């Protein structure tokens, strides 16, 4: 089960907070799929990938209520919790950096807090995509809802392609292999002064 977090609506489409949606959309494009099913407050689709059935989903609740939709999906499809991959932005990683994890804290990410709360566990898998920190003293709440700076666009595009490859590795080989393969990769350059 591959779940991208974000906020629905055109106003948020290119925001830093919507990298989960963007990753699922990119994976769908590569597989020739569309998120056409509208159940459980999500847009979703399912397919077979190398003989494994996968569900791709983007909750249509607001980010901070993502756990409601994820709980519906998990209760209906009953996957092993470690086979649930949640994709989200991460302010503590450099722009475009990918980190795979299983379990652990939410790091202040309200979407992840909601998922952990509604599932009653934090033992699901995660693909974290770095967005870096504000350069110009923007409030975090505003920063995550804005697009990337112009000079970061190429880096984040590369990062999304790496995120898709990490999801493919997760589906085929499991979370540990995905962690070992992708957590050591770097994309782009570090922010000056970070």
Using pLDDT thresholds of 50, 70 and 90, give the confidence band for residue 184.
confident
The average confidence (pLDDT) of the chain is 94
Is the residue at 60 inside a domain?
yes
- Looking from the CA of 155 toward its CB, the CA atoms found within 13 Å total 22
- In percent, the amount of the chain with pLDDT more than 70 equals 95
Pairwise CA distance, residues 40 & 178, whole Å: 28
Start-to-end Cα distance in the chain? 35
Q: Which of 17, 88, 109, 118 is catalytic?
A: 17
Q: Write down the pLDDT at residue 194.
A: 42
- Tell me, yes or no, whether 139 lies in a domain: yes
Is residue 194 a part of any domain in this protein? no
Residue 189 has pLDDT above 70, yes or no: no
CA distance linking residue 29 with residue 25, whole number of Å: 6
How many domains does the chain divide into?
Answer: 1
For residues 44-61, give the mean pLDDT: 95
Does residue 82 sit within a domain?
yes
In a domain, 9, yes or no: yes
Residue 78 neighbours by CB under 8 Å, 6+ apart:
none
Residue 192, in any domain of the structure: no
Three-state helix/strand/coil letters over the chain: CEEECCCCCHHHCCCHHHHHHHHHHHHHHHHCCCCCEEECCEEEEEEEECCEEEEEEEECCCHHHHHHHHHHHHHHHCCCHHHCEEEEEECCCCCCCEEEEECCCCCCCHHHHHHHHHHCCCCCEEEEEECCCCCCCCCHHHHCCCCCCHHHHHHHHHHHHHHHHHHHHHHHHCHHHHHHHHCCCCCCCCCCCC
**What is the per-residue pLDDT across 5-20, written as a single tens digit (0 to 9) for each?**
999 999 999 999 999 9
- Average pLDDT of the residues in 122-130: 97
- What is the pLDDT at residue 185? 79
| pLDDT, tens digit (0-9, with 9 covering 90-100), for 158-174 | 999 999 999 999 999 99
Q: CA-CA distance, 101 to 104, in Å (whole number)? A: 8
Answer whether residue 86 is part of any domain.
yes
CATH code at 162? 3.40.50.1470
**Spatial separation of the C-alpha atoms in residues 4 and 21, rounded to whole Å:** 5
In a domain? residue 190: no
Token reading at 177 = 């292999």
Q: How far, in Å, CA of 86 to CA of 175, rounded?
A: 12
Is 118 a catalytic site residue?
no
- Whether 38 has a pLDDT exceeding 80, the answer reads yes
Q: Summarize pLDDT for 58-100 with one digit per residue, the tens.
A: 999 999 999 999 999 999 999 999 999 999 999 999 999 999 9
Q: 65 is in which domain, residue-wise?
A: 2-182
């Amino acid at each position: 089960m591959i779940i991208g977090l974000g906020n629905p609506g055109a106003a948020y489409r290119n925001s830093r907070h919507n990298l989960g949606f963007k990753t699922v959309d990119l994976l769908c494009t590569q597989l020739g799929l569309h998120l056409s099913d509208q159940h459980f407050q999500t847009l979703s689709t399912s397919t077979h990938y190398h003989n494994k059935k996968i569900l791709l989903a983007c909750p249509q609740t607001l980010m901070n209520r993502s756990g409601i939709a994820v709980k519906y999906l998990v209760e209906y499809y009953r996957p092993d919790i470690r086979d649930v991959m949640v994709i989200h932005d991460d302010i503590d990683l450099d722009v475009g950096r990918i980190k795979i994890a299983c379990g652990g804290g939410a790091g202040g990410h309200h979407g992840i807090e909601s998922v952990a709360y509604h599932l009653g566990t934090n033992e699901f898998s995660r693909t974290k995509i770095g967005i870096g920190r504000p350069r110009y003293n923007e409030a975090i709440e505003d920063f995550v809802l804005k697009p990337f700076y112009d000079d970061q666009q190429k880096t984040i595009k590369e990062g999304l392609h790496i995120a898709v490859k990490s999801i493919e590795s997760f589906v085929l080989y499991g979370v540990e292999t995905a962690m070992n393969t992708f957590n050591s990769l770097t994309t782009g350059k570090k922010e000056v002064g970070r």
